[in-house]
Amino acid sequence: MNILGQQKSSFIDYPNKISTVYFTGGCNFKCPYCHNKDLVNSIGTKFSEDEIFSFLLKRKKFIDAVCISGGEPTLQKDLYKFISKLKSEGFFVKLDTNGYSPDILESLIKDEMLDYIAMDIKGPLYAYEKIAGVKIDVNLIKKSIDIIKGSNIDYEFRTTICRELITIKDIVDIANMLKGSKSYFLQNFRDGDTVLYGKNCLTPYDKEELEELEAILKDYFELFRIK
Ligand code: SF4
């Protein structure tokens, strides 16, 4: 595993659980708003598995779950082995993914390796390439959505929104595509030095606009939230 970052304790990454978060290096997308520029470019100091498990086992009493984020974790060749080791130690496991590896997701779900999945939905399928910044086969995205919705594990879909890349109509179109899903979250863009596209290039939506959206979309899902 190419793990380049660790957040020792998080109270927000795994719903209702205390988790440790690991960040894998490398991504097959290049979303301009990405907040993890270095991770996407695989820059960072690698954590060894020995280091990771010695940390986790020492703090097992205080940590319920491990979140695997990125970058894009499904690009890691030994992801399955890493997760099965976490499961055998009794941790809940959450996977953050861009959904571009449906077969990997399917096998992890089938073998009960995951307890929670958070999948990024970059946009409506017709706008995916513009937002993901690379050529995309949207059938893979659709397949992942169907696999996750058809599973019995907890999940959320989530979309980062900024004015330059995603319109209000796009957001409503995504909501229509995902209608009936358990959880859907919108994350308003936050600028910063680590943004892939560079600072001061992209802008978030106003609070009032998001409140209007919330009023329209909240009944589409069991849980809808704007973060
Ligand atoms: S935001 Fe996009 S580029 Fe960044 S890690 Fe996620 S999928 Fe990759």
Each residue's pLDDT tens digit, 26-39:
999 999 999 999 99
Q: What is the pLDDT of residues 93-132, one digit of tens each?
A: 999 999 999 999 999 999 999 999 999 999 999 999 999 9
From the CA of 80, how far away is ligand 1's center (Å)? 21
The number of domains in the chain is: 1
From the CA of 71, how far away is ligand 1's center (Å)? 6
pTM (2 decimals)? 0.95
Q: Which of 22-36, 125-139, 210-224 has the lowest mean pLDDT?
A: 210-224
Residues having CB closer than 6 A to ligand 1 are 27, 29-31, 34, 36, 40, 70-72, 98, 120
Classified as helix, coil or strand, 184 is strand
Its domain, for residue 96, covers 3-226
Residues 33, 199: Cα–Cα separation, whole Å: 9
CATH of the domain at 64: 3.20.20.70
Q: What are the DSSP calls for 46-93, one per residue?
A: PBPHHHHHHHHHHTTTT--EEEEESS-GGG-TTHHHHHHHHHHTT-EE
Which residues, in sequence order, are CB contacts of 9 under 8 Å at separation 6+?
Answer: 18, 19, 20, 62, 63
